[in-house]
Structure 1
Amino acid sequence: MFIEPKRQKGKDTKNGWIEVISGSMFSGKTEELIRRLKRAKIAKLNVEIFKPQIDTRYDENDIVSHNQNVIRSTPVNTSEEILLYTGASDVVGIDEAQFFDMGIVDVCNKLANSGKRVIVAGLDMDSNGKPFGAMPHLMAISEYLTKVHAICVDCGDIAHFSHRKVENDKLVMLGETDIYEALCRKCFYEKASS
């Protein structure tokens, strides 16, 4: 269970940090991101939330988990745009980080270095089982890393692979259970080799 770090009161400057929530599809990454951001709002912190403009699966603006938990966000085309909207924020949330350009790593570092708590969620691997976009870099520079798991739809074991059920060579293909399923290592490699 993730225990939220406490800010030290009475200092002129705030320490910032980066938290990364990673895992496969259907593992609860967005649910955990929303939970942390809502708690920050309860604490009366100034929260800004972002998602990539291309992610319109549930809503064009809101971040929505598979469980239909919702939080308002600002869709952006590039990682650099995030810096335009975060001036007075204490906490910055970023969903689907794997879809952003590699500049997201520098953006998160700049935000944390300026005293902000940065919470990032994203897929750690693509549907081929390879590290996805900037996520490995974000995981490496984060102070806090949470890896969440789904349940394998074939055998019921712990799953951390996002298997694409349809033939398509595109790296980015938005979809839900109609296109993807969560699989454990054994089931993923059995289906990949068949």
Structure 2
Amino acid sequence: MFIEPSLAGGRRGWIEVVCGSMFSGKTEELIRRLKRARIANLKVEIFKPVIDTRYDEGSIVSHDENKIISTPIDNSQQILLLAQEVDVIGIDEAQFFDAELPNVCDKLALQGIRVIVAGLDMDYTGKPFGQMPFMLAKADYITKLHAICVCCGNIANYSYRKSAETETLLLGEKDLYEPRCRHCYYEGK
């Protein structure tokens, strides 16, 4: 009798998405969840896009410098090759990955793996960013985090770009971006 891999031993996988604006604590939350999984003696693998070298080439690092070692990859298919016999997979900066990321996450969840994905839900123009809308649609659990607006102190869910650069993909930190509420974001445009 054939037993579906996701049902072997009663283990079922799922997809969690942590999203929000820049400076909302997405990476911090991802790191927190992954460290808790390790404390529970679960095997964890962590991936990030190879283009994200802002803080460290080989680790996921939050804005407050909390970090965890990861594997930089240049496409989501590599996750399937590199993540063998794991319980939990963490993926940071999901908005920078290719169009296969949602399918890769689906395959992993069907194999009984807990997949935790973090990323920006909107780009600096306020539009859905990269693969995040598709990840949100496939997610079993969604956590939307908010920053604090630097202009008025209300909750912020927009990443306001302070420079005149117009390309969608522009890596930066506080030098290029700041969190803003809806009102202050549109007022600054």
Q: Shorter-chain-normalised TM-score: which range? A: over 0.9
After the TM superposition, which parts of structure 1 deviate over 3 Å for at least 4 consecutive aligned residues? Answer: none
Aligned pair count reads: 183
Residue 172 of structure 2 corresponds to residue 179 of structure 1: no
Aligned to 1:28: 25
- Give 3-state SS (helix, strand or coil) of 2:9's partner: coil
Aligned to 2:118: 121
Change (3 A) 1:143 1:13: same
Q: Offset of 1:13 from its aligned partner?
A: 4.3
125, 128, 135: which is aligned to 1:131? Answer: 128
**Deviations, residues 7-66 of structure 1 (Å, cap 9, x unaligned):** xxx962410000000000000000000000000000000000000000000000100001
76, 84, 89: which is aligned to 1:87? Answer: 84
**Deviations, residues 67-110 of structure 1 (Å, cap 9, x unaligned):** 11010000000011111111111000000000001110001000
- Provide structure 2 residue ranges, at least 5 long, that are not aligned to the other structure: 1-6
Percent pairwise identity:
62
Aligned Cα RMSD in Å? 1.0
50, 55, 61: which is aligned to 2:52? Answer: 55
Cα separation, 2, equivalents of 1:76 and 1:83: 11
72, 76, 93: which is aligned to 1:75? Answer: 72
164, 169, 176: which is aligned to 2:161? Answer: 164
- Report the AA paired with residue 59 of structure 1: D
- Provide structure 1 residue ranges, at least 5 long, that are not aligned to the other structure: 1-9
- Give 3-state SS (helix, strand or coil) of 1:190's partner: helix
Aligned to 2:96: 99
- Report the AA paired with residue 70 of structure 1: K
- Give 3-state SS (helix, strand or coil) of 1:146's partner: strand
Cα separation, 1, equivalents of 2:37 and 2:76: 22
Cα separation, 1, equivalents of 2:111 and 2:157: 33
- Report the AA paired with residue 92 of structure 1: I
**Deviations, residues 136-173 of structure 1 (Å, cap 9, x unaligned):** 11011111000000000000000000010001111100
